[in-house]
């Protein structure tokens, strides 16, 4: 039987699925399809359940079908969280750890927002980012994952700092374009899970997509407007020359016609700079109501583009 030829992660998934009471018909089919995907056996951790959710319920523009996830995807996400909770990251490389934490963060946001699929806006400072859940043997909040783990900083909400053996040693500012807090102001949600193999390339595409979208950077009448992400995490970009240098590096005239105007404003250290953020939920049901100014514009990734770059997150230890 094919089952006996499957690797350990997929055997675990197959046994888990057989034991599930699947009153939601799509849950089992989603997970079974994910079990035989190439991603299922990649790396030290199996993200295939989460990947199946992304492929089925997130479109190419990053909009999420939260209503359908509430009806058919919650059991699959809960099974994925069980695996996240029991994960032992000992000996993992930096890319493997980074991919794990990015997926854990984004999956948890999807799960929380799917519980209230008609929510239209996430209030600034919402406490959904402060509800702890178990990941890698630790009770952590979304703020903990972002600040204590991926940024190796102190979580200002609870005063706790980095965790030895779990936190990344260096901050890579590109993580801010991979973490999606369920709003249109955040980067668009990619409908493929991160892995150690695709991390470097996907992060670079995410950074370029955000900078070259109007919600990341825009200009009008000599006025420069940046996402508040660049304001909130300004210090994280200091290691790469600062926010202005970073934006200038990723601006692409082929992707946006106003690139020369933005470049001029950046080079002139324009005082006419403001920051904005749209807290509207990235829900597919609201897509037609959203102003084009905030239309998600993720870079298209080739299906076979699972290679890494030589950035910090691709270090092996």
236-289 pLDDT, tens digit each: 999 999 999 999 999 999 999 999 999 999 987 656 789 999 999 999 987 755
Q: Which residue has the tokens 């420069």?
A: 224
Residue 308 lies in a domain: yes
**161, two tokens:** 């700092």
Residue 270 lies in a domain: no
**Per residue in 166-178, pLDDT tens?**
999 999 999 999 9
Give the predicted TM-score (pTM) of the model. 0.82
How far apart, in Å, do the first and last CA atoms of the chain sit?
38
In this model, does residue 294 exceed pLDDT 90? no
Q: Which residue has the tokens 């996402």?
A: 227
Residue 179 lies in a domain: yes
Cα(18)–Cα(15) distance, integer angstroms = 5
Residue 244 lies in a domain: no
∠ CA 57-27-183, rounded to 5°:
30
Rounded to the nearest integer, the mean pLDDT of the chain is: 82
Domain count, the chain: 1
Cα(9)–Cα(51) distance, integer angstroms = 14
Residue 16 lies in a domain: yes
- What is each CA distance from 232 to 76, 241, 243, in whole angstroms? 33, 16, 11
Residue 2 lies in a domain: no
Cα(226)–Cα(211) distance, integer angstroms = 9
Residue 224 lies in a domain: no
């Amino acid at each position: 039987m094919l089952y006996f030829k499957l690797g350990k992660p997929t055997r675990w998934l197959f046994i888990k699925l057989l034991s599930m009471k699947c009153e939601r018909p799509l849950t089992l089919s989603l997970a079974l399809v994910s079990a035989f995907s190439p991603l299922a056996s990649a790396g030290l951790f199996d993200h295939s359940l989460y990947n199946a959710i992304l492929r089925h319920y997130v479109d190419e523009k990053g909009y999420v079908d939260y209503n359908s996830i509430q009806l058919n995807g919650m059991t699959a996400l809960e099974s994925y969280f069980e695996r996240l909770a029991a994960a032992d990251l000992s000996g993992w490389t930096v890319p493997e750890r980074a991919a794990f934490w990015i997926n854990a963060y984004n999956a948890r946001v999807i799960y929380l927002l799917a519980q209230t699929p008609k929510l239209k806006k996430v209030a600034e400072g919402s406490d959904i980012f402060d509800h702890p859940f178990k990941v890698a043997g630790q009770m952590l909040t979304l703020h903990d994952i972002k600040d204590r783990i991926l940024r190796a900083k102190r979580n200002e909400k609870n005063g706790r700092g980095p965790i030895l053996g779990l936190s990344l040693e260096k901050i890579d500012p590109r993580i801010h374009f991979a973490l999606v807090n369920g709003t249109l102001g955040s980067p668009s949600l990619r409908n493929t899970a991160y892995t150690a193999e695709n991390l470097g390339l996907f992060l670079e595409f995410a950074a370029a997509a955000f900078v070259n979208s109007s919600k990341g950077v825009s200009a009008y009448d000599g006025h420069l407007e940046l996402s508040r992400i660049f304001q909130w995490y300004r210090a994280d970009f200091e290691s790469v020359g600062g926010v202005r240098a970073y934006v200038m590096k990723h601006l692409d005239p082929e992707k946006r016609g106003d690139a020369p105007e933005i470049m001029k404003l950046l080079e002139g250290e324009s005082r006419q700079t403001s920051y904005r953020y749209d807290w509207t939920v990235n829900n597919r049901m609201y897509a037609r109501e959203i102003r084009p100014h905030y239309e998600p514009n993720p870079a298209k990734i080739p299906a076979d583009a699972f290679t890494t770059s030589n950035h910090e997150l691709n270090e092996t230890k």
